[in-house]
Chain A
Amino acid sequence: MDFDLMITSLPKLLSATLVTLKLLSLSLFFGLFIGLLFAILRLNKNPIINKFAYGYSYVFRGTPLLVQIFIIYFGLGQVEYLRSSILWTVLKEPYWCAIIAFALNTGAYTSEILRSAFQTIKPGFIEAGRSLGISNRIIFYKIQIPIAIKQSLPAYGNEIILMLKGTSLASTVTLMDLTGVAKYIISTTFKPIEVFIVAGSIYLFMTFIIHNLIKYLEKKYSY
């Protein structure tokens, strides 16, 4: 066991952790909006809108995240129209390609979580709001959304942890996140076990924090 390597690689891995956390928070931020949008589309009674939203979540949940990143990073650059458009300033950066892929992926899972949360709200709550003469918009924001958030917290906590692990795929498109740097150190020193222990512990520590944060929020929002 090479303890010196473990100590000298720690600062490098910790600074790479910042990249991982940035990727995670941006993807979750955009993913939450995408998820909410598609959850609402899923609940729409129009069969075309409904099917479209279902298709989106089916495709993104049925294919590996790696394929999604590769299509966006390597594939979209091929489209002449995109290359000449303003979108290209974003799509040529591997950083943003990774975030787009992660956000679309987590958006698909989040939409499923939110949809089932909306569907499990007891009709009585909404009827109670209606009979009090509250407008549909306020029922949505003040009754449905808070209940849905509370219902979906445990599943969303799992999704955050899955996404944390998913950000490791950013290393396949040249980004130096925690896994990317770990791989670099492993391939230069040929000491996989030591590096795995340090990088793995950092990941486990983050999972631990997320897990407890969600537990705390669950307690806070319970009624």
Chain B
Amino acid sequence: MELLAFGKTGWGDELFIATLMTVAVSLTAMIIGFLFALIFTPLKLSKNKFLNLIGNFYTTVIRGVPELLVIYLFFFGGSGAIMFVASMFGYNEYIEINAFLTGSFAIGIISGAYSTEVFRGAIQSIDKGQFEASKVLGLKKPVHFFKVIMPQMLRLAIPNLSNVWQITLKDTSLISVTGLVEIMRQSYIAAGSTRDPLFFYSSAALLYLLLTFLSMKLINKLEVKYSRGF
């Protein structure tokens, strides 16, 4: 137990900060994922065949390729791509990009593919009459989307988004390979220096369980809030 003490003698405070890092990366990734979903859901629902193809390409490729491979692509390719762009503006120094941003972006793209599928499914299962009714009433497009479609879509999407959140949270453990100090990386460091991997990886497992448990409680509350009136 003294291994978990706070301060210089134990790893308690380090693990606590690492847990906050995991939450921060997961939230950032989830938000980046929503931004991707915002772009790709309309593409997937579009009647234009070409736009449709782009949307399907994104969700199929990302969901069919291992997360770790996507992370390696960003980890090794990220700084190269940025340096290439910078060199076009005449900047030729080495640029090292932030592990937090690369990691969140890589996980965000993955999470976005799952969110896109969820939003597409939710919009498709809204009753057609709702679209027709707001058209008949002559609602402007933003009003139609934000006041009619969005509330109904969220109600249908929240249970599935909670799955996406769980996947995203667990995927962040993979960013440890890039050196970002989140739960997994911190446990790896602690396990290495104390030679007690069993203890620290089990603590990591417990921390993840705690995070999934707490977030489920929170999401259940949201679910109740958005299904008012049904």
Q: Give chain A's interface residues, CB within 8 Å of chain B.
A: 58-59, 62-68, 70-71, 74-79, 161, 164-169, 171-172, 179, 182-183, 186-187, 190, 192-193, 196, 199-200, 203-204, 207-208
Contact = CB atoms under 8 A, between A and B. Distances in A.
Interface of B (DSSP majority class): helix
Contacts of B213: 62
A100 to B, nearest CB: 15
Contacts of B196: 78
B102 interface: no
B208 interface: yes
State which size class the interface on B falls in.
35 or more
Interface in B192-226: 195-198, 201-202, 204-205, 208-209, 212-213
Interface of B: 60-61, 64-69, 72-73, 76-77, 80, 166, 170-171, 173-174, 176-177, 184, 187-188, 191, 195-198, 201-202, 204-205, 208-209, 212-213
Given A58-B209, A78-B196, 19 more contacts: A59-B205, A62-B212, A62-B213, A63-B209, A64-B174, A67-B204, A67-B208, A70-B184, A71-B201, A71-B202, A76-B198, A77-B197, A165-B65, A165-B67, A168-B67, A168-B68, A192-B72, A196-B72, A196-B73
A69 B43 CA distance: 38
B66 A192 contact: no
Contacts of A74: 191, 197-198, 201
Nearest to A211: B64
A190 B174 contact: no
Contacts of B202: 71, 75
A187 to B, nearest CB: 7
A71 B198 contact: yes
B184 A196 contact: no
Contact of B173 (A66, A161, A192): A66
Given A59-B209, A74-B191, A203 B66 contact: yes
A196 B69 contact: yes
Contacts of A192: 72-73, 76-77, 80
A215 B166 CA distance: 27
A144 B138 CA distance: 54
A63 B205 contact: yes
Contacts of A77: 197
A207 B196 CA distance: 38
A62 B61 contact: no
Nearest to A210: B64
Nearest to A193: B77
11 contacts: A59-B205, A64-B173, A64-B174, A66-B184, A71-B197, A74-B201, A75-B202, A78-B198, A168-B68, A169-B68, A190-B76
A66 B181 CA distance: 15
Contacts of B195: 78
A64 B184 contact: yes
Contacts of A78: 195-198
A66 B66 contact: no
B77 A179 contact: no
B65 A204 contact: yes
Contact of A186 (B66, B76, B209): B76
Contact of B176 (A66, A182, A183): A66
Contacts of A204: 60-61, 64-65
Given A67-B173, A70-B201, A76-B198, A171 B68 contact: yes
A203 B64 contact: yes
A187 B76 contact: yes
Nearest to B73: A196
Contacts of B177: 172
Q: Which 3 A-B pairs have the closest CB atoms?
A: A168-B66, A75-B198, A192-B77
